[in-house]
């Protein structure tokens, strides 16, 4: 049986895993990054990157943002209950990327720093006592420290706690990528619709070559999410049955207070480190991944010091605003609050509304088009 040994093993090649592997390799540690997919690979993700994501990237990888990977927008439109509410021009640009290209770039940065990659390798089991990761290929990989960056379905979290996530506190999303030519009037306008799902929203994000349309919300409150998604897509003049649709569980504010055990750490979506209102996760994946990498590197340098002890201070600081952000959801998402929230959003910044001739044509065209019938679900 083939066997390898590393000081650290990172499971998951998304932003959190790439950040952890890069940080460890840059510190001169022997690290192996494992992911079940070959890269580039498809990943359900809106692909929105705010200014804090840019800051997190530059802090983690020590180099400038690669602008060629992104499409930039400043125009954001809000809808609720089928009505246009408001248009805002963002003070800072919002970047949108193709997740496959972005993740591949981050993994390449980790490899260049010295991380060894095992891509296209699924984890069969993790033996915590023996400190062994068994791959489905039959290979066994020994480790001193382990970082779980393997998403909401984390096998590392499942090994530690018996389950990867709490189904009652998790979101589910459906999403499709549409060629930009199919939505010629969309341009670079970003859209949010807060009535598209219960305790969630619908979105339209303009990426470099496609437009992403998605609907997501708390899983337990949206048993009819596919109907809601089909309806939302139909409001854009498209038929969901003609499109490739992806679905995925997503963290929704269930942030782990204890992100690991001993020398086994969790970061990114595996730790639930996601902004609880917007669902933004990439900056927190980068920050927690890098923090996990630093903690493991320091633990390896100080015999007898557990990585979790070193990780907890940085982790607690990173997730503190996420924990505080759970309360404001009650001012946005409850069904009875939505009309009031829509009114407040529509009138709070009237002077900031921006209507270009292109947007006027977009709205006139949408108004003239026949609307699809309402779905047989309550809004």
* Protein fold of 74-94+168-251+330-368: D-Amino Acid Oxidase; Chain A, domain 2 (3.30.9)
Put the strands of the sheet holding 200-206 in their side by side order: 48-49, 83-97, 70-80, 190-193, 200-206, 210-218, 170-179, 245-251
The CA angle 164-143-42, to the nearest 5 degrees, is 50
Q: HEC states along the chain?
A: CCEEEEEEEEECCCHHHHHHHHHHHHCCCCEEEEECCCCCCCCCCCCEECHHHHHHHHHHHCCCCCHHHEEEEEEEEEEECCEEEEEEEEEEEEEEECHHHHHHHHHHHHHHHCCEEEECCCEEEEECCCCEEEECCCCEEEEEEEEECCCCCCHHHHHHHCCCCCHHHEEEEEEEEEEHHHCCCCCCCEEEECCCCCCEEEEEEECCCEEEEEEEEEHHHCCCHHHHHHHHHHCCCCCHHHCCEEEEEEECCCCCCCCEECCEEECHHHHCCCCCCCCCCHHHHHHHHHHHHHHHHHHHHCCCCCHHHHHHHHHHHHHHHHHHCCHHHHHCCCCCCHHHHHHHHHHHCHHHCCCCHHHHHHHHHHHHCCCCCCCCCCC
Q: Name the segment(s) of the chain with CATH classification 3.50.50.60.
A: 3-71+98-166+255-327
Q: Which residues lie closer than 8 Å to 45 by C-beta, 6 or more apart?
A: 99, 175
Nearest to 208 by CA among 100, 282, 286: 100
Residue 267 sits at φ, ψ, to 5 deg, of -150, 165
Dist. CA 98–CA 371, nearest whole Å: 30
* Protein fold of 3-71+98-166+255-327: FAD/NAD(P)-binding domain (3.50.50)
Q: Name the segment(s) of the chain with CATH classification 3.30.9.10.
A: 74-94+168-251+330-368
The answer to whether 249 and 179 are in contact (CB under 8 A) is no
pLDDT at 333: 66
Q: What is the pLDDT along the chain (379 residues), one digit of tens a residue?
A: 466 899 999 999 999 999 999 999 999 999 999 999 998 887 777 788 888 899 999 999 998 888 888 888 989 998 887 778 888 888 888 888 888 889 999 999 999 999 999 999 999 999 999 999 999 999 999 999 999 999 999 999 999 999 988 888 899 999 999 999 999 888 899 999 988 999 899 999 998 889 999 999 999 999 999 999 999 999 999 999 999 999 999 888 789 999 999 999 999 999 999 988 888 899 999 999 999 999 999 999 988 899 999 999 999 999 999 988 777 665 566 665 566 555 555 544 433 433 443 444 444 444 344 444 444 443 3
Tokens encoding 227: 């109907």
pLDDT at 339: 61
pLDDT at 33: 98
Nearest to 106 by CA among 148, 49, 66, 151: 66
């Amino acid at each position: 049986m083939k066997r390898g040994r590393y000081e650290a093993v990172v499971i998951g090649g998304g932003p959190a895993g790439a950040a952890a592997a890069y940080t460890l390799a840059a510190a001169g540690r022997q690290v192996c990054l494992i992911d079940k997919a070959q890269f580039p690979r498809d990943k359900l993700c809106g692909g929105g990157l705010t200014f804090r994501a840019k800051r997190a990237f530059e802090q983690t990888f020590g180099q400038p943002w690669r602008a060629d990977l992104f499409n930039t927008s400043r125009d954001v439109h809000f809808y609720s209950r089928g009505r246009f509410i408001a248009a805002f021009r963002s003070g800072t640009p919002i970047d949108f990327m193709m997740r496959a290209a972005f993740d591949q770039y981050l993994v390449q940065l980790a490899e260049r720093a010295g991380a060894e990659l095992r891509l296209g390798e699924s984890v069969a089991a993790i033996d915590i006592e023996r400190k062994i990761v068994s791959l489905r290929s039959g290979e066994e990989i020994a480790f001193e420290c382990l970082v779980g960056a393997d998403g909401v379905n984390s096998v590392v979290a499942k090994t530690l706690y018996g389950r990867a996530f709490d189904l009652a506190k998790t979101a589910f999303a459906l999403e499709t990528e549409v060629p930009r030519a199919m939505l010629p009037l969309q341009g670079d306008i970003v859209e949010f619709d807060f009535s598209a799902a219960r305790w969630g929203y619908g979105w339209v994000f303009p990426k470099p070559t496609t437009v992403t349309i998605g609907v997501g919300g708390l899983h337990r409150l949206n048993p009819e999410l596919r109907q809601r998604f089909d309806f939302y897509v139909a409001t854009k003049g498209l038929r969901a049955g003609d499109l490739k649709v992806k679905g995925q569980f997503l963290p929704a504010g269930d942030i782990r207070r204890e992100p690991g055990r001993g020398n086994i750490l969790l970061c990114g979506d595996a730790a639930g480190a996601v902004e609880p209102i917007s669902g933004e996760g990439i900056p927190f994946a980068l920050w927690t991944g890098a923090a996990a990498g630093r903690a493991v590197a320091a633990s390896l340098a100080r015999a007898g010091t557990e990585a979790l002890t070193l990780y907890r201070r940085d982790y607690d600081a990173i997730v503190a605003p996420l924990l505080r952000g759970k309360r404001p959801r009650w001012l946005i998402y409850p069904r009875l609050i939505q009309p009031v929230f829509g009114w407040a959003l529509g009138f709070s910044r009237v002077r900031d509304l921006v209507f270009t001739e292109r947007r006027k044509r977009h709205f006139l065209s949408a108004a003239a088009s026949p609307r699809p019938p309402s779905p047989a679900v309550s809004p």
